[in-house]
Chain A
Amino acid sequence: MKTKYLFTLMLTTLFCLTTLPLDAQSARSVNKGMFKSAASYEVQVLGVGQDGTKVFRIWAYDKTVEAAINKAKRDAVAACLFSGLPGSGHTNQTPAICKLSDEETHEAFFQEFFAYPDKKGNGGAYLRFVNRTTDEPPSGKYRVQMKGGYKIAIDVQVMYNNLRSYMEEKGIVKKLGHGF
Chain B
Amino acid sequence: MRNLLLCIALAVTILSVSGQAKKPILMVVPSDSYCDRNAFVQEFTDEAGNTRSISDYNKAFKSAESEELRLVISELSKIMAERGFPLKDLEQTMKSIAQSNVELSLLQSSSSGSAIRESPIDVLKRTAQADIIMDIDFSVKIRGPQRFITYNLRAVDAYTNKVITAVAGDGKPSSSASVGLLLEEAVLNYMDDYTSALQNHFDDIFTNGREVVVVLRVWDNADVDFETDFEYMGETGMLGDIMDVWMDDNTVNSRFSRVSATENTIRYEQVRIPLFKMSFGRERAIDARGFINGLSTMLKAEPFNIQSKIYERGLGEVWLILGEK
Contact = CB atoms under 8 A, between A and B. Distances in A.
Contact of A90 (B22, B24, B171): B171
A99 to B, nearest CB: 10
A12 interface: no
A86 to B, nearest CB: 12
Interface in A143-180: 160-161, 174-180
Interface in B218-233: none
A95 interface: yes
Nearest to A80: B192
Contacts of A48: 172, 185, 188-189
Given A176-B84, A177-B23, A94 B192 contact: yes
B263 interface: no
A95 B84 contact: no
A91 B191 CA distance: 12
Contacts of B82: 52, 161
A92 B22 contact: no
Contacts of B198: 176
Interface in A7-53: 47-49, 51-52
A54 B79 CA distance: 15
A89 interface: yes
A48 B170 CA distance: 13
Contact of A177 (B85, B172, B188, B190): B85
A133 interface: no
Contact of B167 (A49, A90, A92): A92
Contact of B21 (A52, A92, A176, A179): A179
Given A92-B167, A92-B193, A180 B188 contact: no
B202 interface: yes
Nearest to B80: A176
A49 B189 CA distance: 8
Nearest to A161: B82
Specify the main secondary structure of chain A where it touches its partner. Answer: loop
A93 interface: yes
B202 A90 contact: no
B206 interface: yes
B23 A92 contact: no
Interface in B250-273: none
Contacts of A47: 172
A89 B169 contact: no
B296 interface: no
A66 B83 CA distance: 36
Contacts of A95: 192-193, 196
B129 interface: no
Given A47-B172, A180-B20, A180-B202, A92 B84 contact: no
A171 B192 CA distance: 19
B169 to A, nearest CB: 7
Interface string B9-35: 000000000001111100000000000
Given A48-B185, A176-B83, A176-B84, 12 more contacts: A48-B189, A49-B188, A89-B172, A90-B172, A92-B167, A95-B193, A95-B196, A161-B82, A174-B199, A175-B83, A179-B202, A180-B23
18 contacts: A48-B172, A48-B185, A49-B188, A51-B184, A51-B188, A90-B169, A90-B172, A90-B189, A91-B172, A91-B189, A94-B192, A94-B193, A95-B196, A161-B82, A174-B199, A176-B198, A177-B83, A180-B24
Interface of B: 20-24, 80, 82-85, 167, 169-172, 184-185, 188-190, 192-193, 195-196, 198-199, 202, 206
